[in-house]
Structure 1
Amino acid sequence: MKISIVCLNLSWQAGGVRLIYSFARALKKFGHIVVIYAPEVNDAAYPDLREGLDIRVVPAPVPIAWQYTSESLVSRIREKLARGRTLAAVGRKIAEAMDDDFDIVNLHDFSYRIAFLYKKKNPKSKIIWTMNDPPYMYLPKERVLYDIASRVFNWYKDVAERRFFRFIDGVVVLMNRNKVWAEERGMKAKIVWSGIDFNQFYAPPKRIEKKGAYVILGVGALNKYRRFEDIVDAVKILRERRQNVSSVIVCKNIWKEDAYRDALLAYARKRGVSEYMHFRFDGASDNDLMKLYASSDFFVLPIHLPPPRDGFGWQLVPFEAIAAGTPVIASRKIDITEALTDGETGCFVDPCSPDQIADKIEMLIRDPGLYFKIATEGQKFVRENMSWEKYAGNVVSLPDESHKKP
């Protein structure tokens, strides 16, 4: 088949970009013709994965402002409206530039509006929307006017965008929460876990009984919802219990979260553990990240969005860590817990609970057998269930399974 993949942001070195390139390579292994369309591409991001892919850049009329810079409500509304106009304009340009003979068009995240445009061009094509998270979602704001505006905006989007959803033949989601969201809006959705390159990240499960010092790893783009301060507190608690722990946190500042960066450094100093905390605000290369997975003893993922979201979406990095033989300790409200099992393939804690993180780490230090069991079973689960070939096969089969709800 001839398959198109459309993404409006290939400019970052992040999990979503890795997913698209890995997915495209898996499709090519099956013999499909694959063309990727995007308004911008980061040439420094995943060059090995990008090599040999047909990527066609269709520039946006003006640069897409993914980050809001204004503090005032009126200016923020203007920024939102301007970004919406830019996304609509680049969507039209991409739809015009696309070949008219694709069997499947796979739209990622904010590019879902292209479904309507491409269906006019090729009514026989099947449109699959990969929705890693809903394109709009109410989150509570501290300031009352901001909160009211957010509620109104999300209500408006939910009414206005439904006219585009009826042109989508199927939605690929990573977790049940998003499946429900899509089905409530009349779309057929299927949960498909993303893959990882298991062999790339593989390292034998560790034996922890002979170690006297332990490294806690955290990875994720820098923002306050990552709750890296929970790792800082866990290090503080564990050192007070005479456990020789330190932490490496890879937190690339792609969102220009300078205020949170400074606050995080100040918090580590305030807690008296700054010498045991190593922050990498410039991120890490793939090779460095693989070395960190393999050399760390625990991978901690405390990320959390407050209610009504009350959790966080899917993440690739914990499964990469598991493939490297490193046990994962994660907030039980994160959507990866739909795949993992507490005490068997990972360890769960309540959100915003650094004391529980410390307790889980100390439990595994004191029970090397359990540590090895979780590392081994987690790795087995990832090996058997999470490959890019399996992901690609499940995605392209979706149109045959998809029938719109009445």
Structure 2
Amino acid sequence: MTKDKILLLIKIPPPVTGATLMNARVRDSELLKQSFNIDIIQMSYASSLNDLGSYRLMKFVKYIKYSTNLFFKVLFNRYAFAYFQISPLGISFLRDCFLVSILKLFNVKILYHLKGKGISKQNNYLFKKLYRYIFNYESVIILSELLKYDIEDVHKGQVFIVPNGIPVCKNNYRKNKYVNESLNLLFLSNLLESKGLFDFIDAMKILNNKGIIFNAVIVGAEGDISEKELEKILIENSLQDRIKYLGPKYGEDKIKIYEATDILVFPTLEDIWGNVNLEAMQFGIPIIATREGAIPEIIDDKITGFLVDKNQPDQIADKVEILSIDAELRKKMGEAGRKKFLEKYTFEIFEENMKRVFETILSKN
């Protein structure tokens, strides 16, 4: 029996972000490839984080290429539906609207995967009309029940909840990690103000002024904050001996950093999920993170870590101090986080959830 054909319209690295990495994993999923007849259009507009939002001729050339490719694919193929990770805001949304219009022109059903938020805050009349045209009665995947509110006013179709999942690293869990002589803290994110980097630094300053001994590392690519700017800020706050910037790390290098980490601090100001939380949980690391996006669903406050308010470095410092003097609490939280990760957030679970969603859409054709 011939399998129904599905078109994946996905944005992949570069740049390396949580969304593009998850898209690449969907593309490479053996379970999905074995279960369905999949066709793929891969898109990548920006060469780096700093290139996001910029206007260059090469981006326009790529856009024409992707649009043309899409047009001829839907012209000469019959797809059961198209899976599309649409950008929900700004110029990127307007760009994606044209791709959607091509799909709608050929009556191709669409399954959107939303990995951003902010639709409910949009007051522009044109955007509101476009949102209703784009989403309307199409199916949508969101990452958490906590994010449903964002599309309620513009979407009347079926909503699927599929949390992100990441591959399990083998032999990565060291039960003796909680007896480190020094406290090792990790901030792992691209250097973006929206990720709460300044709040992290302010919290570290509070701890340093209290005489609490710690070592911290910042891991991530340059964004709207450069390495030079970061180094200047650390010197101005007398933290250059306490905090080291290591740049972006991947693969085994990142694993080694996690293995040496006692606490992950993720004080993001604008986020929808944060795969870094899942990575820390699988390494048995307690997390201090902000109440933002779906993070309160991932982190159980006072069980797998602590939740704090945004823009409150004093709260971050307080929670780090609590964990710094209680190795048993760090161990208990870390083990609870790892257990939750293995039960809910592995890539195998994500694959199975995606397979079920695809099957549900196909069953309605």
Tell me which interval the TM-score lies in, with the shorter structure as reference length: 0.7 to 0.9
Q: TM-score, normalised by structure 2?
A: 0.82
Instruction: Mark the runs of 5 or more structure 1 residues left unpaired by the alignment.
Output: 46-64, 69-78, 139-150, 306-311
Residues 31 and 398 of structure 1: is their aligned pair in 2 closer, same or farther, counting only changes over 3 Å? closer
User: What's the CA shift for 1:320?
Assistant: 0.6
Match of 1:38 among 35, 38, 42: 42
Match of 2:349 among 390, 394, 398: 390
Q: Tell me, yes or no, if structure 1 residue 118 matches structure 2 residue 94.
A: no
Structure 2: which amino acid aligns with 1:299?
L
User: What's the CA shift for 1:17?
Assistant: 2.2
Instruction: List per-residue Cα deviations over 1:336-358 (Å, max 9, x = no partner).
Output: 21232101122111212222222
Residues 12 and 85 of structure 1: is their aligned pair in 2 closer, same or farther, counting only changes over 3 Å? closer
Please tell me whether the aligned partners of residues 198 and 387 of structure 1 are also in contact (alpha carbons under 8 angstroms).
yes
User: What's the CA shift for 1:401?
Assistant: 5.5
User: What's the CA shift for 1:176?
Assistant: 3.4
Q: Tell me, yes or no, if structure 1 residue 287 matches structure 2 residue 246.
A: no
Q: What secondary structure is seen at the aligned counterpart in 1 of 2:333?
A: helix
Q: What secondary structure is seen at the aligned counterpart in 1 of 2:245?
A: strand
Residues 135 and 37 of structure 1: is their aligned pair in 2 closer, same or farther, counting only changes over 3 Å? farther
Residues 136 and 181 of structure 1: is their aligned pair in 2 closer, same or farther, counting only changes over 3 Å? closer
Instruction: Mark the runs of 5 or more structure 2 residues left unpaired by the alignment.
Output: 88-95
Separation in 1, partners of 2:331, 2:33: 35
- In structure 1, the residue matched to 2:116 is 133
Match of 1:66 among 36, 52, 55: 52
Please tell me whether the aligned partners of residues 217 and 249 of structure 1 are also in contact (alpha carbons under 8 angstroms).
yes
- In structure 2, the residue matched to 1:157 is 127
Separation in 1, partners of 2:201, 2:288: 15
Q: Which moved more, 1:16-25 or 1:324-333?
A: 16-25
User: What's the CA shift for 1:199?
Assistant: 3.0
Please tell me whether the aligned partners of residues 120 and 151 of structure 2 are also in contact (alpha carbons under 8 angstroms).
no
Please tell me whether the aligned partners of residues 249 and 277 of structure 1 are also in contact (alpha carbons under 8 angstroms).
yes
Structure 1: which amino acid aligns with 2:147?
N
Q: Tell me, yes or no, if structure 1 residue 270 matches structure 2 residue 270.
A: no
Q: What secondary structure is seen at the aligned counterpart in 1 of 2:35?
A: coil
Please tell me whether the aligned partners of residues 182 and 188 of structure 1 are also in contact (alpha carbons under 8 angstroms).
no
Identity of aligned residues (%): 21
- In structure 2, the residue matched to 1:358 is 317
Instruction: List per-residue Cα deviations over 1:201-248 (Å, max 9, x = no partner).
Output: 84234542x332111111112211122122222222223333321211
- In structure 2, the residue matched to 1:21 is 24
Instruction: List per-residue Cα deviations over 1:353-406 (Å, max 9, x = no partner).
Output: 22222221221222222111110010000001112232233234336657xxxx
User: What's the CA shift for 1:173?
Assistant: 0.9
- In structure 2, the residue matched to 1:54 is none
> How many correspondences in the alignment?
345
Q: What secondary structure is seen at the aligned counterpart in 2 of 1:193?
A: coil
Structure 1: which amino acid aligns with 2:25?
S
Separation in 2, partners of 1:158, 1:295: 47
Q: Tell me, yes or no, if structure 1 residue 190 matches structure 2 residue 160.
A: yes
- In structure 1, the residue matched to 2:276 is 317
Map of 1:246-265 to 2, 5 A cutoff? Answer: 246-253=215-222, 255=223, 257-258=224-225, 261-265=227-231
Separation in 1, partners of 2:357, 2:241: 50
User: What's the CA shift for 1:177?
Assistant: 4.7
User: What's the CA shift for 1:272?
Assistant: 0.8
- In structure 2, the residue matched to 1:214 is 183
